[in-house]
Structures are given as structure tokens and as C-alpha cells.
Structure 1
Amino acid sequence: MRLRDRLRPRSEKGSARLGGPAIEIGPRHLGVDDAYCQTLIVTGYPPEVHAAWAQSLLTYPGRIDAALHITPHDPGLAASRLRRRRARLESSWRFDAARGRIEDPERAAATADAAELAERLATGHSKLFTCALYLTVHAPTPEALAAEVEHVRTLAASLLIDTVPATFRALHGWIATLPLGTDPLSMGRTMDTDAIAAALPFASPDLAADLGPTTVVYGANTHSAGLVMWDRFHGGLDNHNAVILARSGAGKSYLAKLEILRSLMVGIEVAVIDPEDEYARLAEHVGGTRIPLGTPQGRINPFDLGEGEDALTERALFLHTLIATMLGPLEPGPAAALDRAILTAYAEAGITTDARTWSRTPPVMADLVAALHADTDDPDTADLAHRLAPYVSGSRSGLFDGPTATPVRGHLVVASLKRLPEELKTVGMLLLLDALWRRLTDPRDRRPRMITVDEGWVLLQDPVAAKYLFRLAKSARKHWAGLTLITQDVGDVLATDLGRSVVSNAATQIVLRQAPQNLDAVAAAFGLSQGERHIAATAPRGDALLLAGHHRAGLHALAAPEEHAIVTSDPAELAAQHTDDGHDDSGAGEGPW
């Protein structure tokens, strides 16, 4: 009769009389209520190990119960057994040498290890222990259990660990991995102090970092019952930058909006470069500033002067960078002509190198084109003026046809690029980054700030704009600011030197589910273990890995109902909210959208 039949009737889920689970014992696995488990015995270990060498097993994304049983040896008995072991090895070596046989390299290595261990025991630098390591794998069905066991054994083999199933001792194996401190299997190996210390799992799924006044809750820990709390502006990090990498639909924008919303609550000033107008509702709910580039309300004049002793020179240099992005790299002749025209446009507005003139109304792009037309002595100026004409009075004039309409100021600034044509989005991003940089470097207003660039691969595609973004990533920390780069085209970002540099200058890295073609590049760039790689390949929507040096945690984005209503971008939920607000969504008399 099966043990299940003795414990309870077939129709019951457990033993009500005994108060415990019903167990069905098989040759290799157990059925515990509605789940199944199988125990693997570790029989072979790698010859050399480093600290936390078994971390890949402990961070396996499936459910594993790992038990390490350590029993100390009596010193006198250990020394006696070691002497006999050395005598057998030495005798075998001499027997083979007397008959002219080739020396066995494994036996030679064992002899050297035994001699070294005997010396460490004699000097008191080490002790001997019996160590037994067992892994109990859990799954909901026998088929899933077989697949999980195969995955675990493959992972163990990659670590040079030999495992065998506890055949006909499944119940003993399950008991050995329960928190009872008993080892009914008794399948231990002799190890010294160093090997035992390297095997101890001094790790926790919860982050153990210094937290400060700008700590943000990112979500629930997927490997424990705790919360993942992180402070990008505290804790001795190299910088305050972050990257959020994911495939389309993995939940990266949702997580970024949650971070922004909670950062505002702790006093962090946030600016967002939004390519698809996804952050407009967030700005509306928190009273932020919206800058819709490409509209009369979204103009940013690149000629606006900032603060500092070299404000005019810095503006002239930025205008060179901006126009090189608009027109392409300039030859030395046209670049010199452009420089003269920039200074002339400022001079016509009454602005010179005298700082007392910098408060006057700055020129606009049309004034620069007029200065180029007026410089008839240089043949390069006419060509430059014609190439800039579309940005002044043509189809691309929406960005530059007037002074700045909305100042880049406020606790939340959301700059939308949705109304800009594709050809102008890089230019718009560059204008915004420059305006935000001037805001960051203002010495009169110091506070923690965060700049979020959604779909950052668009900016990294342009060499000039990528250099500007790299400069921001390198220097933001000096001004108590952090850059957040969000992208779904991970391969394009990691394929360029500047893209890799921007990513490597992010102390906080958040990896959501990755596309298969990008998985190898992401795993190599962030040093993901096999378990972390598996998470990056199979994570459900909203799950992520937070990586910051040796701090690593799995998280699931967790939002309150009020927060979810603000940050969601699900079309069905937005339509339902629109209807609940009293709007008519029938679309009668309108197009199909």
C-alpha cells in the first residue's frame, strides 16, 4: 500500500488527523500534496573554487531547496586517516615507478594535495569536515519536474559539479533538505576549512545597501517576501545614472514612470525626453510642465544664454554642434563662416563679450541666416544660408521660428517629440539636453535631479548627439544629477563604442525581458550568471533584474491602484478611464480610430 493511502482518503488534500501533507513515494521523486520534488546528491566538486562558487545554483530561477550539512572531524582521527591516505598514494606511486609505468596525473595531484593538507593540519591552519550538499527540485507536475531536474543538472555540470538522484531514497533526500538539521542520506565528502568557507552562501536576495532620503521603492522582490528599495543618489555609488533595457512590451516605460512618480515624492526634480507622448498624463496629474516640441508652445531658442563667465563662448560652441547635427559635419571653411555669423547675430542683438549685455533679448535662427546672407565676401555663407533656410521659413521651422515659448523649469518637465518629424527628433533631443544641462549646472539652485531619455537609441544613432549624451553621462554626478537611458534596441546601443560607454557609466542597471537576438550581448555586457540570463530570457511583463555592482535583486513592478491609473499605457485601460470620466468614446461621426 502506498503511504498516501495510509495517511488519508483519496478525495482529501491532506491528512486532517495528522495535520501534515499527504506524501506519495516513488523511486526517484515524491508527490507532496499537488506538487512533486526530487533530490539530487552532489557527489563531485570542482578541483579549485572561488568564494560563492555555488551562487548560480542558489540564484536559479526555479524552486530549489539547497541543504549543506557540515560535520567537524576529530583532529586526532582526521590526522590518522590522512596519514593512511598519504601512505596508500605514496605506495601506489612507488609500485608504478618500480615497474616503469607512466605516472597518473590525477594520483600525483591527489598526493600533492594530501601533503599540503597534512602540513596545514599540523600547523593548525586548517581543519577537516564532512560536507554533504543536497538539492531538492520542485515542480507542479512530473513532466515539469523532469525538465527542471535536467536544467539543474546541466547548470551543475557547467560548474564542474557531479550530481546523482537519490534513487529509492527520495523521502530521505526530501527530509535532508528540510530545515531540521538531520542528514539521513549521509553522502558527505571530506573538505578542509577553506573549501567549506567558499561553499557557504553568504548572500541574500534582498538588497543590503545604504539608503538615504531619496530612497525609492521599485517593487516586490521576486525571490523573497521583501521590497526592493534603492537610492541612486546615496550609498557610495560611482554615479547616479541608470539604464533600463528591455524588449518592446516588457514594461520598461511602466517601471520608469513609477520611478519618476516616487522620485518626485522624495524631492527629486525630474525631466523627461518623451518620444511618444507617453508621459503627458503623468505630467498632468502632478502639475508638471509640458513642452510639445514642433508646436508654437514647444519652441526652445538655442541662442538663449546661460550663467557663467564664458556663457557667450559656450553658446557659440553649442550652436556649432547643433548645426553640425542638422546639416552634417562642416568643412573648415564653412565652419569659420558659421562662427563669424553667430557672433554677428549676437552683435546685432546688442550682445557682446561684455557680461553686462547678456541680459538682452538673444537672437533667433532667422537672425543667423540673415547674418550669413549679409556676409557676401565669403562664398561659403550663401550655401550655409540656403541649407538652413528650411529651419527658418520652410517645413522644419517649427523648432526655431521664434523665442523660447516655455521655460525648462519645474519639478517635472516632460518634453514631447511626438509632433516632430523623424528627421528632427535628434535635433529636438539635442536642444532639450542642452537646455537641461544648463539647468543642471546653475550654481544658484542645487538639488537632486534626474533626466530620463526614453528610446535613447534614437539619440545614440547620431554621432554628434551621442557624444553630447556621453558627456552628460560622465559629468552629471558632479552636479547632483543622474541620467536614465531607456531603450528597447539593446543591440544597437551595445554595438557602438559610445553606446557601450554610456551603459558602462550607469551604476544602476535594470534589465527586463530581452529579445533572443540581444540576450548574448546583454549577458556579456552585464556579466549575468546562468540564472540571471534565464530570468532575462523568460521574465514575465513587469519583472526585472536590478544590478548595481555586487548588489543584485529580482523585482516585480508594484504599483498602488492610484499609481497604476496614472502610469499605465494599456489602450484598453485608458479607454475605460476615458469612459468613466464621462467622455463619449463611441466615435460616432469620426474615423475608425
Structure 2
Amino acid sequence: MYIRPVSDRKVISNLTDKVVTAQSQWIVEKNRGVITRLPELENIIRDLETIREAIQCNRDRMFHVTVLITVHGAGEDDLNTRCEAVESILARRATEVRPLTFRQLDALKSVLPAGNLCVYGKGTFRNLTLGGAAAVLPVSSAVLSHPSGVFLGFTSAGSPVFFDPFIGSPWLPNPHVAVFGYTGSGKSVTLKVLTGRLSLTGVRTIIFDLEAEYRRAIKHLYGGETVLVEPGVPAGMNPLEIEAERDPDTDKEYVNISDKVADVRALISTAVRGFANRALEPGEVAVLEEAVRELYAERNITSDPASLYEPGGRRIGGDTYAIGNVRKRMPTLSELHAKLEKKPGTSNLCLILKPFLRGNSLGMFDCETSVDLEAPVVAFDFSRIKDEFTKLYAMFVVLSWAWHKFALRYAGNKMVIVDEAWMFAKWPDSAKFLETLARRGRKHHTGLVIASQHVEEFLAREEGRAVISSCATQVLLGQNPTVADQVAEEFKLPDGMGERLQTFTDGRCLLKMGNGMAEVQITVLPYEMQFVRTGSGKDGGYVQ
């Protein structure tokens, strides 16, 4: 395969000549009263002008591409059979084949790994734009689609793309998705479109909405609910809440106290690192884990799911009586703080944790659980939290709580969408927590979608890179020039794709699904646009 760039000046000049020729032909045909070709000529003129404008504005390039295919056979008959098979495959792709019957020597020299093209002349190359040239590379595909799933858009070759994150092997090893793109590249619109279409297939979804961008779509498009999280107001979510989970190997339910202790440790560690700029000391880790286990032990909570409930047949308040089992009251952060105060060597830790208790600025999660997740799509709105660390803490608590109340509780396929996940990547413990959820999610039919405009926060840390590597599907939208080449290197993209990523806007992206990759235009349907668009509200290049 030989790809040779063409001078922009030469391309623009040739395209201008072709536009003039097509316009002249249109005028001639119209004056003659022959209208059958007018629509065809109008489409040609429009396509030529679109390509010319893209090249003039440095959004695209033109290349001469020559593709040579060598066919080997055991004998003449075998060779003819193989050649016919190749021609048949290419014919289904509307590809013209030019056999080099009398130019075998030049052809042989051209296919040797020496980089010397010896086949020249008319018809030996095709004009391709940058997207088309990328699609013919061996690492890319003009056709990228699953046999089931939801419609995303079209490849640069015009093939429709259907995506099913839960399709499994051999297409995808896991349902996790990473979405990266700078502000205005179409990241939020892509997430909204994916959420709405997956919900129609029965996939339950929770969304972490930092800027109240999903309110309109939640209300009018998804039929979901929004939970507002704000400083100092009880959020109705208890980070010490624990649920039974099903072992995928034995299909038996059990209460995983060890994992819950690890979640609480990671949460407290992040809080201490953000407030005191230090990690938990080994002694504090030991005491903290001991205190959490004691809180569950005091309530006789064990690995048996039945231990989460008390027998019914008694009054539970006022004139209310319980007939069946009653769920036990779970420990709260205040009770954990009180337990730690009784432990030696925890005075500094207890002082750091005081703002996280009820009545203080970060005490919104020191409460009993009252929020339910029955709606098909639930968004947690963090827009009223302005402080960066407070927002991270709130997201961390909600993610940990939702994992137990959502991912472990409901059967079927589920998605957890974390917008602006770069906040988690900034802190080692929270980034590790994301990686842990990604690893555990596949077993519970839960896909994790991480989205961020700051991909450099993930690439700068080992934990962040581990989160990306755990995502079998990656959506690379437009990237800033300062990080585009780094993104191309880290994601092992072909040479020149860093430059291409800088030109992506309005939902154009490089989509990697398992071992396949293609340039894709995310397509927003007309009825969706009014609910999913952001910013100025312009439709841009989405609707097709």
C-alpha cells in the first residue's frame, strides 16, 4: 500500500476546475431542458465544494493511494481460482480491479518490502481524503459494526455502525467504554445519544452529571429521574450501606464484607489525602478496617444474605407493623467516627473526618439511605457543588453506594456513566477504585463508561492508564493539539492520526471496538437533537 500526500494548492486548483466543469454542465443541461441529470450534478458540485472547503480550512488532506494485492497459487488453475475469489470479494465493495498481466516485473518490485512503487500511469491510484486513507490501513476498517445493539452513526465509508457493549466474546471482552474529547468535540452529545438508545433496549443506566447537562434528556427523552446532590443537605445515600451480591461461578448470593471494607478504606483515604495532603498511615488503615468490621458485627451481619434482615411480625413505628422481614439499619459515618474515637492513635484521623459528619459542609452522606433507583435512567446532579474536592468526594460516595444498590441489586445489563472522570484519575485511591469497579463490573453485567475532556490526567498516572486499558471500547473525539500526538502514541494509532484527531468536531471520532477501528460520525436523529444538544444549541454536523 502506497499513500502519497498531494499538494493542497494543486488539489484546490483541480477541485475548482472540476466544480466549474460540473456547474457549466449543469447550466447546459438546464438550458436544453434535460432535467434528469440535474440532481446528480448538484450532488457532485456539493461534494466537490465540501472537500475543497475542508482542505482550504486545513480540516482535511488529499492523498494518492495505490493498493497492490499479491495472489499466490499452487498452479495456474489454483491461481485463477484464487484471483476470481479476490475479484468477487472486491466486486461486492464496488471496487475496480486492474490486473497487471503484462507488468509482472514492475508489480513484483512494488510489492517487495522495499518501499519502491514501480507501477505508474493512469488508473494506478485513487484520490482519498485523510479519513478514507486511514480507513484503508490494515489497523482500520471501513466496516465496524456488531450484529446487535444500537445505532451510533456511519463510518467514513458510509457503513452504518451498531454497537452492543454486552455482546461478549469474540467481539468484546468486556462492556466498558472510554470516551475522550475536548470541550465542544461532542462528548456529552455522544453520551446522551448512547444512553437514550441503550435504555430502549432495556439497559438500566445511572449517570454522574456534573453540569446539569442531562436534565432535559432525562425528563423528556429517557423517562428517568434526577437526584440532586448539594453541600450540607442530606443526600439520602449512606456509604456504609451494604447489599448481597451473586457469585457468578456458583450463582449463590452472599454478603461481601471484605470488599465493602476496602471501599470504605479507599473513600476515607481519598478524603484524608484531599484534606490533609497525606496518605493514611498503616496504623490508621488497620484501625479503620477494624472499626468498620465491628460496626457490621454489632448488627450480626455476616456473609449470609439473611443476616441483612430482622424477622417481621412486630411494630416498626407508630401504627405500622412489619409482616415480612425488615432490613436492618445500617451504620452511618457518625457511628464510624464515634467508633474510631474510642481507638488509640486516631485523634488526627477523627479531626480530619469531622467536616464529613451530619450538619457540616461535607456531611450530606452522614444519613440513612432513602433514595431508590427504580427509574430506567437515574442521573445524579452535582452542579450545585462548586469545590473540586467536594465534588470528587460526592462522586466517590455516590459511585460506591450505587455499586451496591444498583450493580449488585438488579439483574440484566446495566451501565454506569461517569462524566468528567478525570477527577478520579487525579487521586491514586479513587483511580484504583475505578479500576476495581471495571474489573468487577463484567461479572455483574455492568458496564462502566468513563468520559473526560482531560485525557492527560489518565495518561499521566499508572492507575489512569490501567482504567483505560480495562475498556474494550474507546471513543476518541477531537483532541487538543497539545495532547493529540500523545493520545495517538498511547492508544497505538497509525502515524498521522494525531493530526487527524485535531480536526474532529461535532461527534466525528475514532471508534475502537475490540480489535476493530474506524473513523465514525456519531449521528443524532432529528427528534433527539432538541434534548441532547449543549452549548450554543446549534445542530452542527450531527443530524443526517
TM-score after normalising by structure 1: 0.63
Whole-Å separation in 1 of the counterparts to 2:208 and 2:228: 10
Cα deviation, residue 338, structure 1: 2.7
Deviates more, 1:279-288 or 1:483-492: 279-288
Aligned match for 1:339, one of 260, 284, 289: 289
Q: Percent identity?
A: 26
Deviations 1:542-571 (A, max 9, x none): 211211244222222222222111111234
2:164 pairs with 1:228: no
**Is residue 268–residue 449 contact of structure 1 (8 Å, CA) maintained in 2?**
yes
Name the SS for the 1:446 alignment partner: coil
Deviation sequence 1:23-69 (CA, Å, 0-9, x none): xxxxxxxxx99899999697x99xxxxxxxxxxxxxxxxxxx99762
Which residue of the partner structure matches residue 433 of structure 1?
A: 399
Aligned pairs for 1:195-344 (under 5 A) are 205-207=142-144, 209-212=145-148, 215-224=149-158, 226-234=159-167, 236=169, 237-285=172-220, 286-294=222-230, 296=233, 298-308=235-245, 309-328=254-273, 329-344=279-294
Shift of 1:467: 0.6
Contact 2:151 2:162 survives alignment (8 Å): yes
Q: Is the contact made by 1:282 and 1:566 (CA closer than 8 Å) also made in structure 2?
A: yes
Distance 1:239 1:316, change over 3 A: closer
CA distance in 2, matches of 1:423, 1:513: 27
- The verdict on how the C-alpha distance between 1:267 and 1:423 changes in structure 2, with shifts beyond 3 A counting, is same
Q: Distance in 2 between matches of 1:347 and 1:235?
A: 39
Contact 2:106 2:118 in 1 (8 A): no
Distance 1:408 1:560, change over 3 A: same
| 1:71 matched residue in structure 2 | 100
CA RMSD in angstroms comes to 4.2
Which has the larger displacement, 251-260 or 276-285?
Answer: 276-285
What is the letter of the counterpart of residue 160 of structure 1? Answer: G
Structure 1: gaps (5+ residues):
22-31, 46-64, 79-127, 135-157, 167-172, 179-198, 575-593
Structure 2: stretches of 5+ with no match in the other structure:
1-16, 39-46, 53-60, 69-93, 128-135, 246-253, 274-278, 310-327, 540-544
CA distance in 1, matches of 2:176, 2:529: 25
Residue number in structure 2 paired with 1:404: 369
> What code does the residue aligned with 1:388 have?
L
Alignment of 1:345-356 (within 5 A): 345-346=295-296, 350-353=299-302, 355=304
Partner Cα distance (1:41, 1:343) in 2? 65
Q: How does 1:95-106 map to 2 (within 5 A)?
A: none
* Matched letter for residue 483 of structure 1: L
Q: 1:13 Cα shift? A: 4.0
Q: Could you give the per-residue CA deviations for residues 501-525 of structure 1, whole angstroms, max 9, x where no partner exists?
A: 2112211111111111111111112
Q: Deviations over 1:427-465 (max 9, x none)?
A: 2222222223224653x7421111111111111111011
- Give the partner amino acid of 1:539: F
- Check whether the contact 2:234–2:366 (CA below 8 A) recurs between aligned residues: no
Q: Do 1:220 and 1:557's aligned partners in 2 also have CA atoms closer than 8 Å?
A: yes
Tell me how far 1:318 sits from its aligned partner: 2.4
Supply the AA of the counterpart residue of 1:303: L
Greater RCO (Cα-Cα under 8 Å, separation 6 or more)? 2
Q: Which residue of 2 aligns with 1:367?
A: 335
What do residues 470-501 of structure 1 show as CA deviations (whole Å, max 9, x unaligned)?
11222322222211111111122112111112
Secondary structure of 1:404's partner?
coil
CA–CA distance in 1 between the matches of 2:525 and 2:289?
Answer: 54
Match of 1:491 among 440, 453, 456: 456
With over 3 angstroms needed to count, the CA separation of the structure-2 counterparts of 1:353 and 1:533, relative to structure 1, is closer
The 1:389/1:540 distance shift into structure 2, 3 A limit, reads closer
- Contact persistence 1:512–1:539 (CA under 8 A): yes
Residue number in structure 1 paired with 2:79: none
Tell me which residue corresponds to 1:388: 353
Residue 269 of structure 2 aligns to a residue in which SS?
helix
* Distance in 2 of aligned mates of 1:9 and 1:426: 58
Paired residue total: 430
Match of 1:234, as an amino acid? I
One-letter identity of the residue aligned with 2:527: E
For residue 544 of structure 1, what is the aligned residue in structure 2? Answer: 509
1:503-542 correspondence runs (5 A):
503-530=468-495, 532-542=497-507
Aligned partner of 1:221: which letter?
T
Counterpart of 1:169 in structure 2 is: none
- From the CA coordinates, give the structure whose radius of gyration is larger: 1
**CA distance in 2: counterparts of 1:512 and 1:393, whole angstroms:** 42
Cα pair distance change 1:159/1:411, threshold 3 Å? farther
Q: Which amino acid aligns with 2:229?
A: L
TM-score normalised by structure 2 residue count? 0.68
